[in-house]
A = this chain, B = another copy of it.
Amino acid sequence: MAETTAASPKATSKKMRRQEAEALILAAAEKVFAEAGFGGATMQLIADVAGLPKANLHYYFPTKELLYRQVVQRIFQIWLQAADIFDQAEGPEEGIGAYIDAKMEISRRHADGSKVWASEVMHGAPVIQDYLETTLTEWTTGRIEVIERWITEGRMAAIDPRHLLYMLWATTQHYADFGHQIETLNGGAPLDDVQWEDAKFNIKTIILRGIGAIE
């Protein structure tokens, strides 16, 4: 289906639609915020990465903080999306295993987002604090109940669900947040496909065996 009228010269090609411009800016912002932090990032640099004049950024996102806020909220959504897998599972081996796979995939595909998230939390979550207190707290409580049920059913050892969750978050996100360190220890090269599979396999093996979900 064509635009409202094909006669309009400012249809789709030259004039970017609002949504496209915003997505372009958000992508550039995520990259720059990840590399330089909120304080180190400049609107000028974000504009350069996006290939737009600086003033355009302020047209779509009035302030730097508002732009940052949107970036963080987007990441939080991705962070939560991996949660669904947890619920659909019928046991710890499947549920936690799939959760590790999903979070590792996020660390690989959205490394910049993960870093922005880490930075935000490290600095006391000035923007996302309300989400931590509501959405994240509720999600965590729900998952703790699931794990406790698995323990009661004798499908895994009686470990503290809270510390297990922290270990899952820490370990998977480490591959994004500390990716530079891992890359350096890997001889300067990013992990290849095989190494990522190795990482997933090792993590799953240690944790699932550690909680008594597998032999």
Contacts and interface: CB of A to CB of B under 8 A. Distances in A.
Copies in the complex: 2
Interface residues of A, number: 55
Given A121-B178, A122-B118, A203 B39 contact: no
Contacts of A136: 181, 184-185
Chief secondary structure at chain A's binding surface:
helix
Contact of A198 (B35, B119, B163, B173): B163
Nearest to A111: B122
A127 interface: no
A68 to B, nearest CB: 12
Interface of A: 34-41, 115, 118-119, 121-125, 129, 132-133, 136-137, 140, 157, 159-160, 162-164, 166-167, 169-171, 173-175, 177-178, 180-182, 184-185, 198-199, 202-203, 205-212
